[in-house]
Structure 1
Amino acid sequence: MAYIQGSPVDGLKQTVTRHLFLMGTVTVVLAGMMIAFSDDPMAELGPIVAITVVCAAIIGFVSFRSNPLALTMLFKKDRFKEAVVEEEAAIAHLETLSDHCYVFNNLTVELFRIDHLVISPWGIFVMGRVRKEGELRVEENLLHAGPALLDSLCTSTWRVCHLLNIVIRKGWSQEVMPVPVIVPHSQYPSRTKAVDGIMLVEAKHLAPFIETGRKETLSEELVDSIAAYILKRYTA
């Protein structure tokens, strides 16, 4: 059984509460400071409000960018429950990997969100989930779910792969390029196996995809070391 770190709702409520508190605190403090140092607060009320709103919006954007399920949890509770069921199913399948594998869920790496990160003797796998409903299709080498373009999901998945490749090269002097994987929505399995170098793998096939027929390319020591770094650097 693989080592599992994180779940769809681990710390999400605490994180959202903390970020909302931060937004409120920054808004009050910033507005208070500008009013205190203003010669004529009433005359400058418009700019003060505008600057305060922009700063709060930036904090909110960063918060929800790193926690994509947060908005769903706050405003679309039914869809949030469905999303949790989808992710828990994927985690259950990844849990069946061997004891030498590490699975990190809902991980943020330098503002890039990773749904699932697997570090194993067979390589490193960066996984993004399709939350949009609709049949998956490829048009002009771009992945769509129904009418929705999934370019952002594909791009961020590739970026995390390249970022981890740089981290490993600098930290361990080894060239390890993670495998980008997109996990389709369970109701809309993909007929396409790959797009732009990204593999499309259903949740129930994730464990066989990682283990079956692959050569062990990473030593146990390297797997443990990279996993320890991820655990300390991005989950502490």
Structure 2
Amino acid sequence: MAYIQGNPVDGLKQTVTRHLFLMVTVTVVLAGMMIVFSDDPMAEMATIAAITISCTAIIGFVSFRSNPLALTMLFNPARFKKAVGEEEAVIRQLETLSDRCYVFNNLTLELFRIDHLVISPWGLFVMGRVRKEGELELNNSILHAGGASLDSLCTNTWRICHLLNIVIRKGWSEEVMPSPVIVPHAGHPTQLTTVDGMDVINAEHLAAHIEKGREETIGEELVESVAAYILKRYTA
């Protein structure tokens, strides 16, 4: 069984709690400082309120952008429960990987959110899950789900791969380019196999895609070292 890091519910609840605490703290401290140092707080109240609200909104935008399920958890519990079930189904598939593999779920890497990251002797795999319902199809070379564009998902998945490649090159002087993988929505499996250099793999085939028929391209020491770095740097 693979090493699994990250729970779709507990991790998100902790993150949302921290971010809400940060938003409240920043709002109170910023407003308090401007009132204290203002010559006429009442006359400048509109300006103070505008600045405070703007700063809080920016923090909130960054928080919910990096945690797209947060709003769903807060305002649509039924939909959140369904989304968590879909994520747990993917994690159960990844759990079946060899114990030489490390799986990180709901990881934020320099403001880029990763649904699932697998570090293994067969390579690194960055997985982006399709949350929008609908059949997958290519339209003008852009992947869509039920008519909705998935360009942002695909672009961010590629960006994370390049970012990890840079991190490994600088830290270990090794050239390792992670493989981008798009995981279709559980209710809409697809016959598509690749799009724009990314593999499209249904959840039940993820373990086989990673392990079977592949040559080992990364040494055990590097696998463990990169996994330890990710664990310490981005999950602590």
> TM tier, shorter chain?
over 0.9
Question: Quick one: distance in 1 between partners of 2:79 and 2:193?
Answer: 27
Any stretches of 5+ residues in structure 2 without a counterpart? none
Q: Does 1:49 align with 2:56?
A: no
1:60-75 residue pairs with structure 2 within 5 A? 60-75=60-75
Counterpart for residue 137 of structure 2: 137
* Aligned twin of 2:77: 77
- In the aligned structure 1, how far is the partner of 2:10 from the partner of 2:161? 24
Show the counterpart of 1:160: 160
User: Match of 1:37?
Assistant: 37
Cα RMSD for the two superposed structures = 1.0
Deviation at 1:123, TM superposition (A): 0.4
Deviation at 1:191, TM superposition (A): 2.2
Which residue in the other structure is 2:19 paired with? 19
The residue aligned with 1:105 is 105
Number of residue pairs the alignment of both structures matches: 236
Distance of 1:168 and 1:110 partners within structure 2: 15
Q: Secondary structure at the match of 2:10?
A: coil
Is 2:187 aligned against 1:187?
A: yes
Shift of 1:65: 1.7
Give the secondary structure class of the aligned counterpart of 1:4: strand
TM value normalised by structure 1: 0.97
How far residue 11 of structure 1 moved from its aligned partner, in angstroms, is 2.5
What letter is aligned with 1:147? Answer: G
Alignment of 1:94 onto 2:94: yes
Deviation at 1:22, TM superposition (A): 1.3
How far apart are the structure 2 equivalents of 1:175 and 1:153? 24
Q: Percent identity?
A: 77
- One-letter amino acid matched to 1:23: M
* Aligned residue type for 1:59: I
Once the two structures are TM-superposed, the CA of residue 175 in structure 1 deviates from its matched residue by 0.6
1:58 aligns with 2:58: yes
What is the CA-CA distance between 1:42 and the residue it aligns to? Answer: 2.1
Corresponding position of 2:127 = 127
In structure 1, give the amino acid aligned to 2:113: R
Structure 1: which amino acid aligns with 2:84? V
**What amino acid sits opposite 1:192 in the alignment?**
L
Task: Report the Cα distance in structure 2 between the residues aligned to 1:10 and 1:100, rounded to whole angstroms.
Answer: 25
1:170-203 deviation digits (Å, cap 9, x = unpaired): 1111110000001100111122211111111111
Q: Which sits farther off after the overlay, 4-13 or 69-78?
A: 4-13
Q: CA deviation at 1:147?
A: 2.4
Structure 1 residue runs of 4 or more that deviate by more than 4 Å after TM superposition: none
Q: How does 1:156-235 map to 2 (within 5 A)?
A: 156-235=156-235
Relative to the length of structure 2, the TM-score reads 0.97
